[in-house]
Chains A and B, each alone.
Chain A
Amino acid sequence: EVQLVESGGGLVQPGGSLRLSCAASGFALSAYWMSWVRQAPGRGLEWVANTNSDGGQKYYSDSLKGRITISRDNAKNSLYLQMNSLRVDDTAVYYCATNAWEVLKVWGQGTLVTVSS
């Protein structure tokens, strides 16, 4: 079964850091571009970042650029999102998804990041 499972979310204080992980199973992550998308509570979807299949190309949302880093380890079939200087408005469910022609085909269940003091 093709599956993505996110982890690493949790409660963090403003200014803190978190590293989110996305583990793929049932397929080789190395064949795909990947994306992170977030959804604040009760709100819509917001694209966060993309990376190409070998991790050599990375693209970020302007609202998060400078505070996040997308990376991948194809040998571990995993994708990551390092988030620094977290703010209250970064509170959201963070999803990873496969990306084909910028179409987000397979999504994980998401991991909740709560930024609060």
Chain B
Amino acid sequence: DIVMTQSPDSLAVSLGERATINCKSSQILYSSDNKSRLAWYQQKPGQPPKLLISWASTRESGVPDRFSGSGSATDFTLTISGLQPEDVAVYYCQQHYTIPLTFGGGTKVEIK
């Protein structure tokens, strides 16, 4: 199975500042079209996860552009540029390269 490792486990960021979350996979996530199969989800308390980004950097429709994904192969980053109060949540990465689908352990983002 592909192991997904997120860091940090939690971070506190001031409003308007940048939050950076890292995700590392135990295997390369390139598909045959040279796209990386890595997704990011946001989960607020008491709610289901919400898809933010797939294919490492493709933002889902309606997701604010302060959320961006980058990286390739085995190392990926989710950046929130200008943290807003509504961004307080746990963020998960997930490889969508192969079954079994696997998730990172999550990163809790709070306001400093």
Q: Give the B-binding residues of A (Cβ under 8 A).
A: 35, 37, 44-47, 50, 59, 61-62, 95, 101-105, 107-110
Q: How far is B50's CA from A17's CA once the two chains are assembled, in angstroms?
A: 29
CB<8 Å pairs between A and B, sample of 13:
A35-B101, A37-B49, A46-B103, A50-B101, A62-B100, A95-B48, A101-B37, A102-B37, A102-B101, A104-B39, A104-B94, A107-B49, A109-B48
Chain B interface size range: 20 to 34
- For the complex formed, measure the closest distance between the CB of B57 and the CB atoms of chain A, giving whole angstroms: 13
User: Are the CB atoms of A108 and B103 closer together than 8 Å?
Assistant: no
- For the complex formed, measure the closest distance between the CB of A2 and the CB atoms of chain B, giving whole angstroms: 12
A-B contact count (CB 8 A): 57
B83-103: which residues lie under 8 A (CB-CB) from chain A?
Answer: 92, 94, 96-103
Known A107-B48, A110-B48: A101·B96 in contact at CB below 8 Å: yes
Question: A-B pairs with the 9 shortest C-beta distances?
Answer: A102-B96, A107-B48, A47-B101, A103-B54, A45-B103, A44-B106, A103-B96, A59-B99, A44-B105
